[in-house]
Structures are given as structure tokens and as C-alpha cells.
């Protein structure tokens, strides 16, 4: 499927008007783009016994969660507060059905108490969590996250399967954890694994097929099983906005996996998937202002570069600084200037506050129309882990999020954070 082409981040007059009204930087969501991605995922799960979830860590804003809820997409949460945010957005408590699943390797802060209070399905990723639940006198259903021994993140730091991954119980230890859970009066009603979003769709397709086979080997051990989750991992192409991602191929794979796993279980099982990034990545862009353009000169330490200084930084979009992740960058409405190599850098008191880096964290100038002070600049495809990972470093407030509806209306879904908001925690 392809992303709709009428993205508001391409409309220079609209962006300039919004910049005047709300200031920069700001986030702009496109409802049509988000809904197209939601519909693409849901269309792969319209076979009997197949259910989609959203890994809400990618974008937990209430407006986004309500869009998921209206499309019948369930939630995978990873903290007690994410459970409560999902409840705030209208999702049901309890586990019949388990609209909210809580996945973790550690119970932190209010997580354990929230599981108890809200009755959501806990998906345990460490053996010790069974003991934590037992101490809390929990004797309900649980899900067990296993590490199948393979998988691929979009970068090495995001690997979610294999010997270097902290997530889940090694698959050969699943029976041991099952025995401990049953001895504590719990029923393992779901098996779960997440093998990550590799760089190529065919890799994901092959890994999901392999994961189904791995689950088929252990499913008969779990007599109380009701569901199996294949996790998420549908890749998003950050470099090519016109890339055709053949998600429709997953429909037959999911239907076949549901039938196979139900057959080996001797009863009907629900098959779940839980993408995060794919739903939301293209739905939002970060809009900033070029505040200055300056250059360094070549010397014995290396080549000189031209810096486009902008008022957005890794407090707004941390992925390039954290992973060397690539985001497309455009200067909307600038069509009459030659391209030049530019490093796009932010305002933070950190040398690493740079948006144009490679995966080795080295500066990687981008060929862009020659920037000038006052230009707007857009960092695209920031809907996944953009605002969700924003921070208050340097005591900066998080930028506002705006929402463009299908009819062109713009609403503010989160306001700009102020120093009063930040200091309120210290009072």
C-alpha cells in the first residue's frame, strides 16, 4: 500500500500560517494518512480468529488511541500508565476479551497494581514476574512472552529476538515458566513473541512463517491456551515515501497461521499481531524554522560543513541522535535554489543534536535546497517514536501536536508545554 499524497507537510502556505499561530517547532498529523495505515493493517486481520493490536508506545496520544479504538484495534501497553492512557481513550478493562494487554520484563512503578486494579492481561517476559504476581495474590490468566532466538530490529539497538535481546523467556524455558505459573494458580492463555521490524518486507514474511512453526512445536504443552501473538514488525520505508509495502500478503499468512496453530492445539485459537511503527510513522511530521546558516572550514580534524541551525532538536525527535535514524527533510515551497550539502542541527547544548547522521553516528550532510534564515523545514515520518520519545532536556517544553482532519480543519491535540508545567513536578 502507498501513503496518500495530500500530506499537509507539503503545503507551504498552511505550514506558514500554522507557524504564525502556534510557533515552531510543532507536529502536524494527517488524519487520512493515519487512517489509511490503520485500514491497511486491519485488512490483513479480517479472517476468522485474527485480531490486530497497536503497540501504543509508538504514539500514545489520546487522539491516536481513539482512532485505533474506532477501527476495532486492541492495545499492547508496556507500562501501568500506558494501561491507564488506554482506559482514558475508551478501552475496556478486564480480559474478556483482553482489549488491553500489558507487556513487560519488569514491573515498575504502578504497573503491577494497575494490572491488579484494571484486570488487564499481563504478558510476562521474565520468569521472576510470575513470582511477583504470586506475591501480589494474583491467580488469573497470563500471557507468556518468549524469545524465539531470532529476529531483527530496524537497527541493532532494537533487536527484539535472539541471544542479545533482553525481551522474553528463552523459548526452551517456556515449559519451566508454564509449570511455575500453574503451580501458582495462573493459567497461560496466550503465547507471544516479537521478532522486530527488519529492513525488508520479505524478511518479515519469512520470519513470521518461521515463528509460526516454532510456536506449533510448543503449543500442545499449553492446555489453557486461547491465543498466540506473532507480535508486530511491519516495516516502514523512511527513505521512499512512494514505496509500495505489500501488506496484503500478510492476510493469507495470518489466516494460515491461525488455522495451523488451532489444529495443533486441538481447539480454535485467536491469532494476534501488534504493529506499532507501521500504523503511525507517516502520519506526523515535525515542522521547524531555520534560524541561521553557518559554516566551518576544513582543517586537520576533518572537512568543513554548512550547518542549517533549526529550532527543533532531539528533545522533539530523538531517533537520529539515538540510532542515526534517517528522516526525509524538505524545505516546503522552496523550488528555485540549487541543492547543497547541509547538516541540519538543533538548539540543544549537545554536539550530538544533529538530524543528519548515519548509523555510525557520524555527520552525514544532506543534499537540500540551499537553506536561508527564516525558511520552514520539515522532518517527515515522525509519527512513530517522535512525540512519544520527546523530553524536557534543557528545560524545553514539548512542542504542540496539531491534527488535520479530512475536511482540512486543524485542531490542537496537545498544547505546547510551558515552564510552569515542568516546574509543577517540583512543587
Q: pLDDT tens digit string along 58-75?
A: 999 999 999 999 999 999
Please report the pLDDT score of residue 162 as a whole number: 59
Residue ranges with strand state E in 111-196: 121-124, 141-147, 169-170, 187-192
* Angle between helix 80-88 and helix 62-70 axes, rounded to 10 deg: 60
Dig out the grid coordinates for 26 from the structure. Answer: 510543532
Asked if 158 is an active-site residue, the reply is no
- 281-426 CATH fold: Lyase, Ornithine Decarboxylase; Chain A, domain 1 (2.40.37)
Radius of gyration of the chain (CA): 23
* CA angle, 270 then 100 then 231, to 5°: 55
Residue range(s) occupied by CATH 2.40.37.10 in the chain: 281-426
Residues 176, 172: Cα–Cα separation, whole Å: 8
Q: Read off the pTM.
A: 0.94
For residue range 300-328, list pLDDT tens digits in order: 988 999 999 999 999 999 999 998 999 99
- 44-275 CATH fold: TIM Barrel (3.20.20)
Residue range(s) occupied by CATH 3.20.20.10 in the chain: 44-275
Q: How many residues does the chain have?
A: 427
Please report the pLDDT score of residue 158 as a whole number: 43
For residue range 397-408, list pLDDT tens digits in order: 999 999 999 999
Which string of DSSP letters, residue by residue, matches 372-411? -TT-EEEE---SSSSGGG---GGGPPPPPEEEE-TTS-EE
Active-site position among 300, 349, 395, 425: 349
Residue ranges with strand state E in 259-300: 270-273, 284-295
Tell me the mean pLDDT per 10 residues along the chain, length 427. 63 96 98 98 97 98 98 98 98 96 97 98 97 97 92 50 75 95 98 79 89 96 98 92 91 97 98 97 98 96 95 97 94 95 96 88 91 98 98 97 97 98 92
For residue range 131-151, list pLDDT tens digits in order: 999 999 999 999 999 998 876
Amino acid at each position: 500500500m502507498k501513503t496518500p499524497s495530500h500530506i499537509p507537510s507539503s503545503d507551504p502556505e498552511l505550514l506558514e500560517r500554522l507557524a504564525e499561530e502556534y510557533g515552531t517547532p510543532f507536529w502536524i498529523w494527517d488524519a487520512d494518512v493515519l487512517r489509511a495505515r490503520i485500514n491497511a493493517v486491519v485488512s490483513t486481520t479480517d479472517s476468522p480468529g485474527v485480531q490486530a493490536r497497536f503497540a501504543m508506545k509508538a504514539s500514545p496520544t489520546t487522539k491516536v488511541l481513539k482512532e485505533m479504538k474506532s477501527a476495532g484495534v486492541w492495545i499492547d501497553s508496556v507500562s501501568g500508565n500506558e494501561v491507564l492512557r488506554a482506559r482514558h481513550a475508551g478501552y475496556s478493562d478486564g480480559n474478556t476479551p483482553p482489549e488491553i494487554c500489558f507487556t513487560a520484563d519488569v514491573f515498575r512503578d504502578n504497573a503491577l497494581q494497575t494490572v491488579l486494579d484494571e484486570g488487564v492481561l499481563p504478558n510476562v517476559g521474565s520468569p521472576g514476574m510470575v513470582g511477583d504476581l504470586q506475591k501480589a495474590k494474583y491467580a488469573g490468566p497470563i500471557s507468556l512472552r518468549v524469545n524465539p532466538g531470532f529476529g531483527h530490529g530496524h537497527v541493532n539497538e532494537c533487536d527484539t529476538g535472539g541471544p542479545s535481546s533482553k525481551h522474553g523467556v528463552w523459548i526452551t524455558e517456556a515449559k519451566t515458566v508454564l509449570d511455575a505459573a500453574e503451580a501458582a494458580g495462573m493459567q497461560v492463555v496466550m503465547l507471544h513473541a516479537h521478532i522486530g521490524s527488519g529492513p525488508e518486507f520479505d524478511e518479515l514474511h519469512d520470519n513470521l512463517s518461521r515463528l509460526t512453526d516454532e510456536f506449533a512445536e510448543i503449543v500442545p504443552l499449553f492446555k489453557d491456551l486461547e491465543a498466540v501473538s506473532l507480535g508486530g514488525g511491519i516495516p516502514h520505508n523512511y527513505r521512499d515515501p512512494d514505496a509500495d509495502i505489500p501488506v496484503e500478503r500478510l492476510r493469507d499468512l495470518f489466516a494460515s497461521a491461525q488455522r495451523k496453530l488451532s489444529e495443533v492445539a486441538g481447539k480454535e485459537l485467536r491469532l494476534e499481531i501488534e504493529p506499532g511503527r507501521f500504523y503511525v510513522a507517516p502520519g506526523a511530521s515535525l515542522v521547524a524554522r531555520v534560524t541561521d546558516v553557518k559554516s566551518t572550514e576544513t582543517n586537520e580534524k576533518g572537512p568543513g560543513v554548512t550547518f542549517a541551525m533549526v529550532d527543533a532538536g532531539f528533545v522533539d525527535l530523538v531517533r537520529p541522535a539515538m540510532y542515526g535514524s534517517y528522516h526525509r527533510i524538505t524545505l516546503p515551497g522552496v523550488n528555485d535554489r540549487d541543492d547543497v550539502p547541509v547538516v541540519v542541527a538543533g538548539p540543544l547544548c549537545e554536539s550530538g543534536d544533529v538530524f543528519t547522521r548515519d548509523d555510525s553516528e557520524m555527520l552525514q550532510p544532506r543534499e537540500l535546497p540551499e537553506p536561508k534564515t527564516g525558511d520552514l523545514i520539515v522532518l517527515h515520518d515522525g509519527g512513530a517514536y517522535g512525540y512519544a520519545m520527546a523530553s524536557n532536556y534543557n528545560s524545553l517544553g514539548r512542542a504542540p501536536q496539531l491534527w488535520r482532519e479530512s475536511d482540512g480543519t486543524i485542531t490542537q491535540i496537545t498544547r505546547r508545554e510551558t515552564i510552569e508545567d515542568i516546574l509543577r513536578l517540583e512543587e
